[in-house]
Amino acid sequence: MIQVKDIKIGTGLPKICVPIVETTQEQILNCAQEIDREVVDLVEWRADFYEEIDSLEKAALTASLLQSILGKLPVLFTFRTAKEGGEKEIGLETYQQLLCHVAKSGCVDLVDVEVFRGYDKLQRKRKEWKVADSCNGPIRQLIKELSENVTVIGSFHNFEETPSREEILKRIFFIEKIGAAIPKIAVMPKEPEDVICLMETTLLAGRLMADKPIITMAMGALGKVTRMVGESFGSAVTFGCMGKASAPGQIEVTQLRQGLQALHME
């Protein structure tokens, strides 16, 4: 279990996170004011949608204004790169600078880090996994630096397929070993068996990492069920939408809350 402000991630009902995917500061803040605090537990600012994200000062200012509106609701800062389903591509050095600048501003509570940036290509050549490889040094150092100020979610997104159980487990354990507080895996199912594979793997990983929350989800219509059954299979956070979705298959937050409560294990 990890506590962020008043929210305990990894115990009880999966926590509902709603993404803000607006493009201007005014739209972002207006969206924040409409969030129902009785339904939502966390707010994700998808900064890759923000049209002025190239300015570190404007990014930090927007985060500060967002925090002032949301109050006790924890804020997750995410820049999702195009390779993993986001709106923009960004160089590694700029990515590092942005995440560190916002984390050090004290205006966000969690930061998403794409752990496998630049790593998968080398691993395909080597056909092996090594946490200590120098090629992953920048991301490992980034997580270490960010962890001094925020809770780090180490993420991996595959919009093309669902990897094997062994591959998903390797990635979850890799994310944990490299220093992220919460591993997050999102995959695209093509068959019902893919959904079952993800849920079974999440359950197994949760038992092997009993003290650490895990976030997993299958995207698209076929994967919607995974956004509802986290309490049964071990996913600690689920992402729902409030109007605009940030990924395929997200469920409207009010319906999501109702579903989670209906499935709640007493």
Whether 184 is catalytic is yes
Which residue in the list 15, 184, 212, 224 is annotated as catalytic? 184
Question: 3-state class of 29 per DSSP?
Answer: helix
Distance of alpha carbon 252 from alpha carbon 255, whole angstroms: 6
At 31, which amino acid appears? C
Distance of alpha carbon 161 from alpha carbon 155, whole angstroms: 16
At 63, which amino acid appears? A
Question: 3-state class of 35 per DSSP?
Answer: coil
Which residue in the list 8, 58, 121, 157 is annotated as catalytic? 157
Closest Cα partner for 109 from 71, 55, 144?
Answer: 71
CB atoms within 10 A of CB 207: 9
Whether 125 is catalytic is no
Structure tokens at 28: 């972002």
Q: What are the catalytic residues?
A: 157, 184
